[in-house]
């Protein structure tokens, strides 16, 4: 934040009302009152504050309940930033008092903007693509959690009534052949009654390439257990419903992925991000949402620290020293870097770096984190230069 602001307005945003505290440069209060979630009242406040000079509006939540104040502030010509929640809580501990009120939080936000501008984060200006991505990716996260819940429920029921069947069908629950068998026949009793030929034909129809082999394995697993476990009858009625629900959720995820790809194509950095091995549509969307264009990070080390990939030094005198994995950082961004590093192991350059770390004695996860840290440097350079990924010749382990 390099502009010489005259007014620093902190907003502790809420669903129905916000609390606004406006401070001038010396720290005097220009405004301290509740503010309804209403465009007219927001516009009146921001316009009135502009009479004192340039205004910086700082919120503690840039999305959802904070979206309207940000939009109105921009429309009024005010600059907007946000103070991360963890930073706000730590700064609040430096202020006297133990109370936790909206008025105190709003004052902490405004005072931090006035005295500690380096703690603020930029709110990306008006990218319609990012706003749409945030909605779509948030919905996709919900669908992913629901798919995991349904998958775990199906596998739990199969483990309860027929463990052998779960060992074969469990890893393929989210595949078309496995879902088709569960949705049509239910559990082990339904599959036995249908017969081998119908089980095989159903699996092949759903997945022509791998369905036949899976159906044969399922039929062999059915013959490994002859007793009927209590609860099997209820599981036979529940499993088809769970399978249909899971199939619907997975179909929605495929539709969302298509929509995310269309929105992502409209962003100028999409081609740069997806050119990197291991970065697909969902990963690129997550990186854009968490990092933006990368201009808020001075170096690649800052980006790695924000993602929780940079090691943390811990030292106490001469007895305790060393570097340890960080516990903080942006969890969503760290997960995206980690999964993309795993997906990039087919790339010769990434594989060679991973093999070197394994040769040094590191475990699989530790080597992947090292690779993710290395790729973070590359990604930072790509965003800084607006250039796609250019592979280099790998060095053998």
Which domain CATH number covers 64?
A: 3.30.420.10
The CA angle 89-95-99, to the nearest 5 degrees, is 70
End residue of a domain, out of 74, 90, 123:
123
Residue 391 lies in a domain: no
pLDDT of residue 265: 85
pLDDT of residue 263: 87
pLDDT of residue 253: 95
Is the domain of 208 the same as that of 278?
Answer: no
Is the domain of 228 the same as that of 298?
Answer: no
What's the half-sphere exposure (Cβ side, CA atoms, 13 Å) at 232?
15
**293 — phi, psi (to 5°)?**
-90, 0
- The pLDDT confidence band at residue 65, using thresholds 50, 70 and 90, is confident
Residue 223 lies in a domain: yes
The encoded tokens of residue 2 equal: 């390099």
Residue 120 has pLDDT above 70, yes or no: yes
Q: Give CA–CA dist 269/254, Å, rounded.
A: 23
Residue 394 lies in a domain: no
Contact 232, 238 (CB under 8 A): no
Handedness of CA 65, 71, 73, 76 (dihedral sign): negative
Is the domain of 70 the same as that of 188?
Answer: no
C-alpha distance from residue 256 to each of 59, 247, 260, 271, 275 (Å): 30, 14, 6, 19, 21
Name the more confident of 46 and 325: 46
Residue 290 lies in a domain: yes
CATH number at residue 242: 1.10.287.4070
How would you classify residue 260: left for phi > 0, otherwise alpha for psi between -120 and 50, otherwise beta? alpha
Is the domain of 42 the same as that of 119?
Answer: yes
Is the domain of 86 the same as that of 30?
Answer: yes
Is the domain of 250 the same as that of 138?
Answer: yes
Residue 300 lies in a domain: yes
End residue of a domain, out of 99, 123, 147:
123
Is the domain of 211 the same as that of 290?
Answer: no
Residues 364-390 have pLDDT tens digits of 998 999 999 999 999 999 999 999 998
Helix (H, G, I), strand (E, B) or coil at 311: coil
Structural domains counted in the chain: 3
61, 111, 114: which is closest to 86 by C-alpha?
Answer: 61
Q: Give CA–CA dist 48/55, Å, rounded.
A: 10
pLDDT of residue 126: 45
Residue 396 lies in a domain: no
Residue 80 lies in a domain: yes
Q: Which helix (H) or strand (E) holds 367?
A: helix 364-385
Residue 125 has pLDDT above 60, yes or no: no
Is the domain of 58 the same as that of 158?
Answer: no
* Residue 254 burial by Cβ neighbours in a 10 Å radius (0-12, 13-18, 19+): exposed
Is the domain of 251 the same as that of 366?
Answer: no
Q: Where are the alpha helices (DSSP H) in 116-231?
A: 128-161, 163-169, 176-185, 188-194, 196-206, 211-222
Q: Give CA–CA dist 379/276, Å, rounded.
A: 8
Is the domain of 91 the same as that of 171?
Answer: no
Q: What is the mean pLDDT of the chain?
A: 89
Record the pTM. 0.71
Q: Give CA–CA dist 129/167, Å, rounded.
A: 43
- The pLDDT confidence band at residue 217, using thresholds 50, 70 and 90, is very high
Residue 2 lies in a domain: no
CB atoms within 10 A of CB 67: 15
Residue 147 CB partners (closer than 8 Å, separation 6+): 174, 246, 249, 250, 253
Residue 148 CB partners (closer than 8 Å, separation 6+): none
Task: Give the range among 5-14, 91-100, 338-347 with minimum mean pLDDT.
Answer: 91-100
Domain of 73, in residue numbers = 7-123
pLDDT of residue 198: 95
Residue 394 has pLDDT above 80, yes or no: no
Q: Give CA–CA dist 320/322, Å, rounded.
A: 7
Q: Which helix (H) or strand (E) holds 79?
A: strand 79-82
- The pLDDT confidence band at residue 274, using thresholds 50, 70 and 90, is very high
Is the domain of 256 the same as that of 141?
Answer: yes
Is the domain of 223 the same as that of 312?
Answer: no
End residue of a domain, out of 233, 262, 291:
262
pLDDT of residue 57: 93
């Amino acid at each position: 934040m390099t502009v010489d602001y005259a007014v620093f307005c902190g907003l502790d945003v809420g669903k129905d009302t916000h609390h606004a505290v406006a401070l001038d440069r010396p720290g005097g209060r220009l405004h301290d009152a509740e503010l309804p979630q209403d465009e007219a009242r927001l516009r009146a406040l921001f316009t009135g504050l502009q009479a004192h000079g340039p205004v910086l509006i700082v919120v503690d939540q840039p999305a959802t309940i904070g979206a309207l104040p940000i939009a109105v502030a921009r429309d009024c010509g005010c600059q907007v930033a946000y103070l991360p929640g963890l930073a706000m809580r730590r700064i609040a501990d430096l202020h006297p008092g133990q109370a936790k009120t909206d008025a105190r939080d709003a004052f902490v936000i405004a005072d931090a903007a006035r005295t500690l501008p380096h703690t603020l984060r930029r709110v990306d200006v008006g990218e319609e693509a990012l706003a749409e991505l945030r909605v779509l990716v948030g919905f996709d996260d919900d669908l992913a959690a629901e798919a995991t819940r349904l998958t775990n429920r199906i596998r739990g029921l199969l483990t309860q009534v027929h463990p052998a069947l779960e060992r074969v069908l469990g890893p393929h629950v989210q595949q078309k052949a496995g879902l088709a068998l569960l949705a049509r026949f239910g559990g082990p009793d339904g599959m036995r009654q249908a017969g081998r030929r119908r089980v095989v034909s159903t699996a092949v129809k759903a997945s022509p390439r791998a369905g036949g082999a899976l159906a044969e394995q399922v039929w062999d697993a059915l013959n490994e257990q002859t007793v009927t476990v209590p609860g099997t009858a209820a599981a036979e009625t529940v499993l088809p419903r769970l399978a249909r629900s899971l199939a619907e959720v997975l179909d929605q995820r495929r539709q969302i992925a298509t929509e995310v790809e269309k929105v992502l194509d409209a962003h100028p950095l999409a081609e740069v991000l997806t050119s990197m091995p291991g970065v697909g549509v969902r990963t690129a969307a997550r990186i854009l949402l968490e990092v933006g264009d990368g201009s808020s990070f001075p170096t690649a080390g800052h980006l790695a620290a924000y993602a929780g990939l940079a090691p943390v030094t811990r030292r106490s005198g001469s007895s305790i020293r060393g570097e340890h994995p960080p516990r903080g950082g942006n969890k969503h961004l760290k997960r995206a870097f980690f999964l993309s590093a795993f997906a990039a192991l087919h790339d010769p350059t990434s594989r060679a770096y991973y093999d070197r770390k394994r040769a040094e004695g590191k475990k699989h996860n530790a080597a992947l984190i090292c690779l993710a840290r290395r790729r973070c440097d590359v990604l930072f350079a790509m965003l800084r230069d607006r250039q796609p990924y250019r592979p280099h010749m790998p060095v053998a382990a």
